[in-house]
Structure formats: structure tokens, C-alpha cells
Chains A and B, each alone.
Chain A
């Protein structure tokens, strides 16, 4: 299972979990799994965010693969981003 780290600003949308585990093969699938489990997560994250997969930060990562043992961090924009 892929481990997803929830940023503190989004934990209220995720039952205050710091980490959750999902089954997904890509960042897009991770987002889908998170939305299914925590409705409203995708909207709360917004459109401007980066993703760190196993320590490497991606700006446009929707189609990036993630492994079963990957750790995924979503990094919401602090401000602006457009």
C-alpha cells in the first residue's frame, strides 16, 4: 500500500489522520483514492500543489507512477501559485 502523508492544513478533511494508506499506481489514482475515502479532499487541495514521491518533489505529477512502498506527500501552495 502507498503511504500518503496529509499536510496539516488538510487534516481536518481527512479525519485528522497524519498518514493514510491507499492502493494506487499513480498520483492521479492516489488523488482518486483519497477523494473516495475523504470526499472533498480534492477540492480542499486545490489545483496548485506539488507532490513529493519518495523524497523527490514534482510540480506536474498527475501521471507519475507510485509504487506500493512509496511515500507520497502533497504540498499545497502557501499562497498564489498562479
Chain B
């Protein structure tokens, strides 16, 4: 039978494994009569916990996401008829890899950031934010450019939840190279040694104890004089980013099940995730919401249907059902920040983790609503209805 090829997809392999593990945790909690959050807190991975494949965690935020879940009003909100609530925790290790960045200062004091990762989640704005933070200028004065691979320095793929972490780190280093040059230019203007010049809040200042008495020079003021102080001011950086911070997420899901049709509606959903440090919080929330929606699709609908001759019966998006905005409630995103100690700003990757918990969170909610434990996905109406009928006739 010719079936579509398979390839890596957001957090490859993790949602499936977590569906099994977190369904079992739910069963275990029920058997032991332990609160689901308490059970996970007792067993939570934390700093020093050894992974099954050997290495040990540095700082991670599993406990913090569970505590945030417990504190969230969703956890204690009343449920209606035919409704159930599920909780699941997910994890993704994240990646670093190679990245390059260039930062060019222009004569009006604005900056151009050139990187080589396509922007699939708002990353170019995060690049601008990090450059602006380093240069001490408004983010509106930074223009981020996603260049093609002939133009940007060598940069690995856009994947592995690595772009804001690794390419962002390269932007930080390239911006710091610009700052070093700005200090050198200020030293030239003031006819002093560069060690006598500090940089803070977007200005070169006489260093404390330098004996200099000059008014601070802004980035724009130095940029205006760059032709007469040595020419263009650019910064460049390339790095193999080590220390990608693993990310945990805890998701809460409420479903309502139609007992006559087996249709499941997600009526409330909360995604809580450790982002390390959210550079652009609303884009981080967007990743969390997108991952949750995608995972809900896997849990409830996404499926290839083949006939007995091996022909795909749902080859288009009219029949290959994925959740759209009208299918889902507003997904509440709660960012938890446990800084990654390996990154200058504490960043962890955020893109993949949010697709990991939803499969189990939905299945656990369906179990609470119906008493039926679904051990395969999707929990589509005909499948769930068959299980409901089997349970009723047992």
C-alpha cells in the first residue's frame, strides 16, 4: 500500500509517547486516589534529575508549571453535565546548533539585523528586540532582515525550537560587537582610551574614575560621526549554541461529550509553559496556542482514512479534519519563566513543547467525562461512540 511519507514534525515522537505516559499517570492517580498535580509534583523532574538516556537536567520548570496550573482558576472551575477535565505535562529537549548574525548601524542611528532563519513564529521581531536591548535604542529603530542563505552567515535550520535561542544569541553577540565599536568611536571623539568609556542605556559615558567630563554620546550621535571616526560600524557573530534549555508545559483541558454522537468539544483550555525568558511574550503565547490547537487536532480529528483498496479517502482539507478557530475556545496561555542559565537572557525554545501535552490532556478529560479510556487516537465521534456503546452494554 502506498501511504504518504512520514517526516519530522513539531516535537517529533514526543506527543505520541506523552499520550501513553500521561494517560497512564492519570490511571495511576485514579488508582491511588491522588490529586493529578500532587502525583506529578512528587515525581517531577527538577535540577539534577537524570534523564533515561543519561544526562542530568540543569534548571527546568516542570514544578513551576504544575504549581501555576494549581493556582489557575481553570483548575477549580466547576464542570457541567457531560464535561470532564484533563491535565497532562509535556517536555521537549530543544536544540542549539549553528547560527550567524550581522548588525549594521546606519548614519541615523538605526540598526539593521541580518539573520538567516525564516520567520515562522515571530522570531524576526524577537531578533530586533534583543538587538534594541543591547544597543539601548527603541525597537522601532531596529530593522530585522531575514536574508537568504547566500547573504546571511551560515545558519542551521529553522527548527528544534532553536531560532530565538541560538540565532538570538548570535544577534546579542553581534550587537555587543557594535557596542565595543561604539565605545572605540567615543574614545576617539573624546581623545581618551577605550577603557575610559562605558556604555549603558544607549549612551557612551565617561567611565567612573576616568577623570573625563563629557556629556554622554547617544548611539545616534556616534552614528552621525562614523564617517569621520573610522567608517562603518558593524557587528558580526557566529556561534555553535550550547546549552539549549529543555522546556516543560502543563496543559489543562475541559471537554464536553455528546453521549448520543460521541462528538467531543473542547470548551476550555489552558496552556502553561516554561519559556525561560519570553523575549516577545505575545509571540510566545502564539506558539503555545498554536501548538495546543495542533495537538487538539491530533487528539480529536487528524487521521488518514484508507479504503480496503488502500486509497486515501480524505486527501483534502475538507475531509482531513483539523480544528479551526470556530472549533476551539480561546486558549489561555500562561508563561512561566525559569531562566535557562546557559543563555545570556535565559531563553528556552518554546515552539515544540506545546504540541506535546494536548493529546493526553484531551484523552484524560474525555475519560473523566465518560469513564471511557481511549488508548488510540483520534478520539473521533465514531470511535468514541463505539466505546461509549460498548461501555453501556457491558
| Mutual binders A and B | yes
**Chain A residues within 8 Å of B, Cβ to Cβ:** 5, 7, 52, 54-60, 73, 75
Q: Output the least CB separation between B103 and chain A (Å).
A: 26
Name the contact of B54 in the complex, choosing from A7, A58, A59, A60 (C-beta under 8 A): A7
| B56 & A55 in contact (Cβ 8 Å cutoff) | yes
B55 touches A55 (CB 8 A): yes
Q: Does B58 contact A (CB under 8 A)?
A: yes
A49 CB to closest chain B CB (Å) equals 11
- State the CA gap A57–B96 with chains docked (Å): 10
Q: Is B54 a contact of A5 with CB atoms below 8 Å?
A: yes
Q: For the complex, is B93 an interface residue (Cβ under 8 Å from A)?
A: yes
Q: Is B57 in the interface zone, CB < 8 Å from A?
A: yes
- SS class of chain B's interface: helix, strand, loop or mixed? loop
- Would you mind naming 20 contact pairs between A and B with Cβ atoms under 8 Å apart? A5-B54, A7-B53, A7-B54, A52-B53, A52-B54, A52-B55, A55-B55, A55-B57, A55-B58, A56-B55, A56-B242, A56-B243, A56-B342, A57-B93, A58-B242, A59-B95, A60-B240, A73-B53, A73-B54, A73-B55
B21 within 8 A of A: no
Count residues of B near A (Cβ-Cβ below 8 Å): 13
Considering the chains assembled together, what is the distance between the CA atoms of A7 and B57 in angstroms?
18
Question: Which residues of chain A are within 8 angstroms of B342 by Cβ–Cβ distance?
Answer: 56
Count A-B pairs with CB separation below 8 Å: 27
Residues A75 and B53 in contact, CB atoms below 8 Å apart:
yes
| CA–CA, A62 and B20, complex, Å | 35
Instruction: Establish whether residues B242 and A75, one from each chain, have CB atoms under 8 Å apart when the complex forms.
Output: no
Query: CA of A6 to CA of B165 in the docked complex: distance in angstroms?
Result: 31
B97 at the interface (CB under 8 A from A): yes
Q: Which of B32-60 contact A (CB under 8 A)?
A: 53-58
Task: List, in ascending order, chain B residues with CB within 8 A of A73's CB.
Answer: 53-55
Mostly, the A contact residues are strand
- B54 A75 Cβ-Cβ under 8 A: yes
| Closest residue on chain B to residue A74 by CB atoms | B54
Most buried by A among B53, B97, B243: B53
Query: Which residues does chain A contribute within 8 Å of B58, judged by CB atoms?
Result: 55-56
In the assembled complex, the Cα of A56 lies from the Cα of B240 at a distance in Å of 13
Report B-chain residues with C-beta under 8 Å of the C-beta of A56.
55, 58, 242-243, 342
Within 8 A of A (CB), among B252-269: none
Other than the given A52-B55, A55-B55, A56-B55, 7 more pairs (CB < 8 A) read: A52-B53, A55-B58, A56-B243, A56-B342, A57-B55, A59-B97, A73-B53
Q: Tell me, in angstroms, the Cα distance from A52 to B50 when the chains sit together.
A: 12
Inter-chain contacts of A59 with B (CB < 8 A):
95, 97
> Distance (Å) between the CB of B122 and the closest chain A CB?
26
Most A CB atoms within 10 A — which of B56, B93, B97?
A: B56
Closest 3 CB pairs of A and B: A73-B54, A52-B55, A55-B56
Interchain nearest-CB distance for A56 vs B (Å): 6
Contacts of B53 in A (CB 8 A): 7, 52, 73, 75
Q: How far is the CB of B28 from chain A (nearest CB, A)?
A: 25
Complex formed: what's the CA distance from A54 to B243 in Å?
Answer: 11
**Residues of chain B within 8 A of A54, CB atoms compared:** 55
Q: Which residue of B lies closest to A64 (CB)?
A: B242
Per the bound structure, the CA–CA distance linking A56 and B94 in Å amounts to: 12
Docked Cα-Cα span, A52 to B55, in Å, equals 6
